[in-house]
Amino acid sequence: MLFALAFSFNAAAQTYYPLPEEKAYWTVLEFDYNTWQYNDVIYTVMGDSVINNLNYKVVYRLDDYPTIYDTISTLHCFMRQSVEEKKIWFIRNYLGETQEKLGYDLSAAVGDTVSLPAFQFSVFDDSLFYLAFIDSIDMSFIGELNEYRKFYVFFSLKYGSSMSLEFIEGIKDYRSTFPNLDILSGFDPFHQSETVCVQVNGSFWFGYEPYNENCGFLAVGLDNPELNKLEVFPNPVSNILTVQLPEGFKYAELLTIYNTLGEVILQKDIESAGNSFAIDVSALNQGLYLLNINSHSSNISVKLIIKH
């Protein structure tokens, strides 16, 4: 897909575009090494901060899993951009860091080696990247961006590494625009993040069609009511519960039931269960629960009442 969108460089791409700093939302699928599942999160820029006499934008990470009922908002990192230098720095607050590190150097020329320590994670990858090529992408298909944007591809110089940065100027990186790996899991090319949508000022700047189904929390957002239509019956239930997956929800993998504290009470592999199946919940205590269905790319949930 990357190369299908790429065109030869166009003179219209000479203008440099910084990342949007307000009313912007990046929907990212992230692999959770604790649950061994993908989870959808949202990154957004909200507010300003002054650190070491420099002005930063504050980046928050929004998550609705496993709470569903509430969105957890966490201060993720701080971002500083220089339009003149074509550089973006980050303070990785989520790792407890207090000093800024360079994340993108878009002033580099093809073949240059640059140090991008914001995307260096302990022993897993080196901070040195080389700029493999600069191409351009025609963004006219999304309406507002009636022009080309530069497309940068940086590869890590660490021997045997598969890590790369694939950045569309002013829009996103294909994995995660903001550093999001931790020092324990490091870089795993087989379980990496993927930015599936960027939404700015209510318009979909980038995403896979249909855009509105890939923006926000993929399985529980109000913009996606049909995908949310997970049916369980009877509800309340005392023993045997029938689960009916919504049409269009594909590749279901795991059913999990949580109590009101967010603790896992029951889990069941449902990869071969089909769109409709039954489970025995007679062993669970009477009360309110959350039933969650996980696929390789999204989650859907419904409140469940057990009454004996």
pLDDT over threshold 80, residue 186 = no
| 22's tokens | 């307000």
Please report the domains of the chain, with CATH numbers, ordered by start residue.
Answer: 2-213 (no CATH), 231-306 (2.60.40.1930)
Residue 7: per-residue pLDDT? 40
Give the rounded percent of residues in the chain with a pLDDT score beyond 70. 78
Q: 62 or 139, which is more confident?
A: 62
pLDDT band for position 5 (cuts 50, 70, 90):
very low
End-to-end CA distance of the chain: 53
Q: Is pLDDT above 60 for 28?
A: yes
Q: How far apart, in whole angstroms, are the C-alpha atoms of residue 17 and residue 204? A: 17
Q: Report in angstroms the alpha-carbon separations of 264 from 49, 50, 132, 256.
A: 38, 41, 45, 7
| Mean pLDDT, rounded, of the chain | 81
Whether 252 shows a pLDDT value over 50: the answer reads: yes
Taking residues 42-52, report their average pLDDT.
Answer: 93
Q: What is the pLDDT of residue 255?
A: 92
pLDDT attached to residue 32: 80
pLDDT at 3: 39
* Banded pLDDT at 15 (limits 50, 70, 90): confident
Neighbours of 78 (CB within 10 A): 22
